[in-house]
Structure 1
């Protein structure tokens, strides 16, 4: 509590740094992370006279000339700015965000001080293994991006272009004639916070469905396009009156590079297989560990963390609990949490927190796995073909039940199209990349034909023996096993 109060009093830069540190288990013990994660990005509003002065400076006209209406007081105030409700002369209701005064100078000074402290900590605290100065530089770059409201507007439009077509996802419109570096005018969204369950239920809206849409949208952000909303707290996710999930505030966005996207999917495959050696290698590929890291103590530590939490399936994992356990491990071993991953964790933990408020039994990973299954079956990337092969083979044996489960999970994916999966599966089977499945399929069919032939011969000899009065069954003849064969899985897959 005391730490949170001190950070809040220090001002905007320290609030943002505190929020960023709450996602860095490689830098702080869990007790501090939990305290900092409750930091609220809220400050008292600054005077209207200054806000209206900024609007006039940025847009070259008085707010009373620009807008048909503007609220007499801000409707919300945060560390970087405050928001007014207004109306354009063309009739549209809008949100007008105005930046705080002297923000660039104050934040630049704060970042300079924090960067110096980071350098001192690197030199004098042996436990610090991460590049604190580099982290602070990245943080400084990110916060200055947030100060450019024109960039936020472009982010919103890019987000709408990539994800606005998804079912029940809504992104507000930007009004560029009323937007500049320190003033942003966007469509006003009438909605209810996802955490306000009673109000949502009273409107007849299915909050669980909206949370599931949020999970599906996040998966496409993280694993498909790589452009993701890094600050999806309850205030930035609203249930609209027509039952859509509206995203707000596009100041904090981040990018996941292609190799990182594939690496995250590969890590899920290794988790499914309980291949903790492979998972440790994934942490190197994803820049958590340096290539020269001794993995000998880390592999069993990963096994302890995940085996205790996995239960029957990966889908049953509680994301927050596993993140907490990993936080302890990352603090003990030489992990460096990449900036992109820290933002992913913040995003997913926040989303799961909202989801659990809606449904205490909600599991983010159980909703995510169908999408991952679809990607494994349809994505042409060599990395994912290798992951598919790893998932389907064990000790030289092909696991048809895994393929069956993958297809079943893929069919539960939001954008599953049977024709697409069939077309791409057939193309894959008859390409060099599909050799490993094709060979197994042919082998299983030959086994099945041989099995059926011997069974038919067995039945025929039984009939002959009975008709000739030889009595009894031919115990020397081949008997098909009573246990289900791989053919059963193949039949179910085909059906």
Structure 2
């Protein structure tokens, strides 16, 4: 038995011991709990006391969500991270459990200065004084995976250094293997397998291993900075790559005010409504334009810089959409804010993963009804975020499930709405979102955008046209030599005249010429612009008209 296997067995025994204690606590708590309005019988009270004394458990009723949260904290950082992820999954777990899991510890006792120093020196193989001019011994924040210190580079630049806790990787790797084995067992149980425990744990494992590599967080920051390079109101901290490794992340120090620090906001005269609208715009762009978004934009991860600038930090938890998912999510949100609940429900179903037991019709009817209750309600009574979250919560009831990135997106919407309410108690997220959503919608249906896939496929079309004569001659040669035979079957159902084969080339050539003409009208070196594409030159318009007319004619002939 090697050391890795031995360590994993020890960890498994430790986890099992904690889980057994949790089970015993809940058994005793159940015995103490009265059944409905009736008092416990004498026999039940004696059984509860006897069980408590034999099992050495505390007396009294313990709420299941509370004990679950406490048990997760005892299990360590891997399970704390899992609990934090599960707190988002209101589509899978009862709300009373997810609410309690949100109280999982985010601040833990920091490691000592000597331990942090040892990690940094181990990563760079030089003394700490040769890396940083100054390094604050006391951290400004500590979490389950890492802690942050203020430091100064050799050139005097003030930075924040994020240092990973020593020994965290072997513990979490072992825990993840244990979770995956347990998930496999749960997957074999008929009732539980509908909740896809294996997939849930696999998603969590992939996310956690990425978060343990601080270079990934640095790459996320660079991607966000590139996505917002043309927006001067959005700030992302610069990453100092020469001082960054898998266990140490060095980033620019940015001075700002947290959005929930209302006293400082008033003193600085910050325009709350404008910043709230800016935050909503930032999240909408991430979700529906970039498809790459901050998964946890709570007040601790946001700074207001100056009086009207928006800064995001702690970019370890991110979500990413495929183009198909982003389109479905966009259309769901768009039709939701214009209050077309029937269409919105159709696109919401498109975001789910179904099972043989899924009730799609029932789910759609339920979320349409939820949408109707939202009409006319203010933020305090029924916010847009609450509407979306309640709709998602109906999924598990009808056996439809959402993946991790969808739930992260919903959390981003709900969180930025809550942050916006702090800054502007009168903010209506639907009203704030509508102008930008309408702009994105118009951009998506513009001829320029719709022509892009055709332009990308042009090399294939040209290659096909170039090779067509040789392919045709080769095919005719095979037919004449008897290697290839064509059987002509006469259809008597339809006597409609057929167009000559050579005319099939007319719409293709016309479409090609139209695209070329439109491309010539676009800005040099840039994408096709909506304003330009609306006023196409006459050659492009004529070519598209010919292609459309012939396509319609062939379609009618084929239908006949």
Q: Structure 2 length normalisation: TM-score? A: 0.66
Q: Deviations over 1:71-129 (max 9, x none)?
A: 12111101110011011121110001100111111111222222233333333361552
For 1:174, the equivalent position in structure 2 comes to 239
Shift of 1:38: 3.3
- 1:144 maps to 2:209: yes
Shift of 1:281: 3.4
Q: Deviations over 1:159-185 (max 9, x none)?
A: 111114313111111111111110111
Alignment CA distance shift 1:313-1:86 (3 Å): closer
Q: Deviations over 1:384-405 (max 9, x none)?
A: 98xxxxxxxxxxxxxxxxxxxx
Match of 1:352 among 403, 414, 417: 417
SS in structure 2 at match of 1:281: helix
Task: Report the Cα distance in structure 1 between the residues aligned to 2:327 and 2:213, rounded to whole angstroms.
Answer: 31
Give 1 or 2 for the bigger CA radius of gyration.
Answer: 2
Match of 1:119 among 184, 197, 218: 184
Task: Report the Cα distance in structure 1 between the residues aligned to 2:307 and 2:347, rounded to whole angstroms.
Answer: 42
Structure 2 unaligned blocks of 5 or more: 1-65, 451-528, 546-560
- 1:84 maps to 2:149: yes
Does structure 1 conserve the Cα–Cα contact (< 8 Å) formed by 2:218 and 2:239?
A: yes
Alignment CA distance shift 1:368-1:167 (3 Å): farther
Does structure 1 conserve the Cα–Cα contact (< 8 Å) formed by 2:272 and 2:424?
A: no
Shift of 1:44: 1.0
Match of 2:306 among 217, 241, 265: 241
SS in structure 2 at match of 1:348: helix
Does structure 2 conserve the Cα–Cα contact (< 8 Å) formed by 1:59 and 1:179?
A: no
Q: How does 1:273-422 map to 2 (within 5 A)?
A: 276=341, 278-289=343-354, 293-311=358-376, 318-380=383-445
Alignment CA distance shift 1:210-1:312 (3 Å): closer
For 2:323, the equivalent position in structure 1 comes to 258
For 1:479, the equivalent position in structure 2 comes to none
For 1:394, the equivalent position in structure 2 comes to none
- 1:189 maps to 2:260: no
- 1:65 maps to 2:130: yes
Alignment CA distance shift 1:270-1:364 (3 Å): closer
Shift of 1:142: 0.7
Task: Report the Cα distance in structure 1 between the residues aligned to 2:288 and 2:179, rounded to whole angstroms.
Answer: 33
Alignment CA distance shift 1:355-1:277 (3 Å): closer
Shift of 1:254: 2.0
- 1:162 maps to 2:221: no
Alignment CA distance shift 1:103-1:427 (3 Å): farther
Task: Report the Cα distance in structure 1 between the residues aligned to 2:350 and 2:70, rounded to whole angstroms.
Answer: 38
Structure 1 unaligned blocks of 5 or more: 386-419, 436-495
For 1:20, the equivalent position in structure 2 comes to 85
The count of aligned residue pairs is 401
Shift of 1:194: 0.9
Alignment CA distance shift 1:163-1:99 (3 Å): same
- 1:55 maps to 2:120: yes
Alignment CA distance shift 1:187-1:273 (3 Å): closer
- 1:199 maps to 2:239: no
Alignment CA distance shift 1:119-1:319 (3 Å): farther
Relative contact order, CA 8 A, sep 6+: which one is greater? 1
Q: Structure 1 length normalisation: TM-score? A: 0.74
SS in structure 1 at match of 2:257: strand
- 1:44 maps to 2:148: no
Match of 1:133 among 176, 198, 203: 198
For 2:296, the equivalent position in structure 1 comes to 231
Shift of 1:370: 1.2
Alignment CA distance shift 1:427-1:353 (3 Å): farther
Moved more, 126-135 or 76-85: 126-135
Alignment CA distance shift 1:271-1:313 (3 Å): farther
Task: Report the Cα distance in structure 2 between the residues aligned to 1:96 and 1:293, rounded to whole angstroms.
Answer: 48
Task: Report the Cα distance in structure 2 between the residues aligned to 1:21 and 1:431, rounded to whole angstroms.
Answer: 54
Task: Report the Cα distance in structure 1 between the residues aligned to 2:156 and 2:334, rounded to whole angstroms.
Answer: 52
Alignment CA distance shift 1:128-1:365 (3 Å): farther
Does structure 2 conserve the Cα–Cα contact (< 8 Å) formed by 1:25 and 1:330?
A: no
Task: Report the Cα distance in structure 2 between the residues aligned to 1:136 and 1:369, rounded to whole angstroms.
Answer: 37
Task: Report the Cα distance in structure 2 between the residues aligned to 1:431 and 1:234, rounded to whole angstroms.
Answer: 51
Alignment CA distance shift 1:259-1:292 (3 Å): farther
Task: Report the Cα distance in structure 1 between the residues aligned to 2:446 and 2:361, rounded to whole angstroms.
Answer: 30
Task: Report the Cα distance in structure 1 between the residues aligned to 2:341 and 2:355, rounded to whole angstroms.
Answer: 17
For 2:75, the equivalent position in structure 1 comes to 10
- 1:208 maps to 2:270: no
Q: Deviations over 1:180-203 (max 9, x none)?
A: 110111111111211101112212
Shift of 1:422: 5.2
